[in-house]
């Protein structure tokens, strides 16, 4: 049976894309997919069966085949998308649902990753550093505010990287 995994022969640009270059990141991802599809013309017929919707249907078919009355879901990141779609399509098949790191299904993948890289990284870091300051053990380990320790470390790293 032929493998549909990508081969190492696909060329990759060794220059990293920065977080400020989200348009280039999207273009690079699309280029990668196009390269894979061009190499695997004989497997394009599988594409309709490789999405979340089909995976949800596959799980429901499997659940019914083994006679499972109801299921529990725990989903993280992409798993939250899968769990949300399964719960929406088969609510009577669910005993419960726990989702962590919810993916907003109203946004496109491009919108999600653009916002994540442009806005969320600094907001999340600020929340983590503030939470550390609010936790006595974490603050004691730091010896100062977590933000100041982070800023000092970032400055040292910048000096090391800049000749």
Q: Which of 3-7, 21-25, 86-90, 156-160 has the lowest mean pLDDT?
A: 3-7
| Boundaries of domain holding 67 | 52-106
> Is residue 146 within 8 Å of residue 129, measured between CB atoms?
yes
Tell me the whole-structure pTM to 2 decimals. 0.47
More confident residue, 108 or 140: 140
Residues 45 and 61 in one domain: no
> CA–CA separation, 75 vs 81, rounded Å?
8
Looking at the structure, do residues 74 and 57 belong to the same domain, yes or no? yes
User: How many Å is the Cα radius of gyration of the chain?
Assistant: 22
| 98/118 Cα distance (integer angstroms) | 28
User: How far, in Å, CA of 110 to CA of 26, rounded?
Assistant: 7
Q: How many domains is the chain built from?
A: 3
39 vs 101 pLDDT, higher one: 101
Residues 108-135: tens digit of each pLDDT: 777 777 776 766 677 778 888 999 899 9
């Amino acid at each position: 049976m032929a493998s549909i995994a990508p081969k190492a022969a696909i060329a990759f640009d060794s220059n990293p894309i920065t977080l400020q270059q989200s348009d280039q990141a999207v273009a690079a991802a699309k280029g990668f997919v196009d390269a894979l599809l061009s190499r695997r013309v004989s497997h394009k017929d599988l594409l309709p069966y490789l999405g979340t919707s089909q995976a949800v249907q596959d799980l429901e078919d499997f659940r019914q085949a083994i006679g499972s009355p109801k299921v529990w879901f725990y989903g993280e990141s992409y798993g939250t998308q899968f769990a949300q779609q399964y719960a929406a399509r088969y609510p009577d098949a669910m005993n419960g649902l726990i989702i962590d790191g919810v993916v907003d299904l109203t946004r496109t993948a491009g919108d999600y990753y653009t916002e994540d890289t442009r806005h969320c990284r600094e907001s999340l870091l600020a929340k983590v550093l503030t939470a550390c300051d609010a936790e006595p053990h974490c603050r004691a380990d730091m010896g100062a505010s977590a933000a100041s320790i982070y800023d000092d470390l970032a400055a040292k790293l910048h000096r090391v990287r800049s000749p």
